[in-house]
Amino acid sequence: MNLVQIERTSTIEQLLENVLEKTENKNSNIYKQIDNILQSKSTKYIPATILLEAYKLSDKENYLHEILAGSDLFVPA
């Protein structure tokens, strides 16, 4: 379940775009989820689980706390 969500920022979008470019399996679940998020410009918050999976697949040029800097977290009550 995706309880924690993170505000979409340009840094996060860039991370997601880089992961999409480097992902070989275009049919994987994470690829489809990231692609859907990037195509939907109205999505303000991204599930933290997707962002963490994307970070694991990334080349880790930046630390996770650097990517999340300035982002708001949304945790439903």
Query: pLDDT by residue (tens digit) across 17-71?
Result: 999 999 888 899 999 999 999 999 888 999 999 999 999 999 888 899 999 999 9
Residue 58's pLDDT is: 92
Report long-range pairs for 7-10 (Cβ below 8 Å, ≥24 apart). 7/44, 7/45, 7/46, 7/71, 7/72, 7/73, 7/74, 8/37, 8/43, 8/44, 8/45, 8/46, 9/70, 9/71
* Per-residue confidence (pLDDT) for residue 15, from 0 to 100: 95
Model pLDDT, residue 1:
58
CA dist 61 and 47 (Å) reads 21
11, 62, 22: which is closest to 46 by C-alpha? 11
Whose tokens are 């706390």? That residue is 65
- Reply yes or no on whether the pLDDT at 3 is more than 80: yes
pTM for the whole thing?
Answer: 0.86
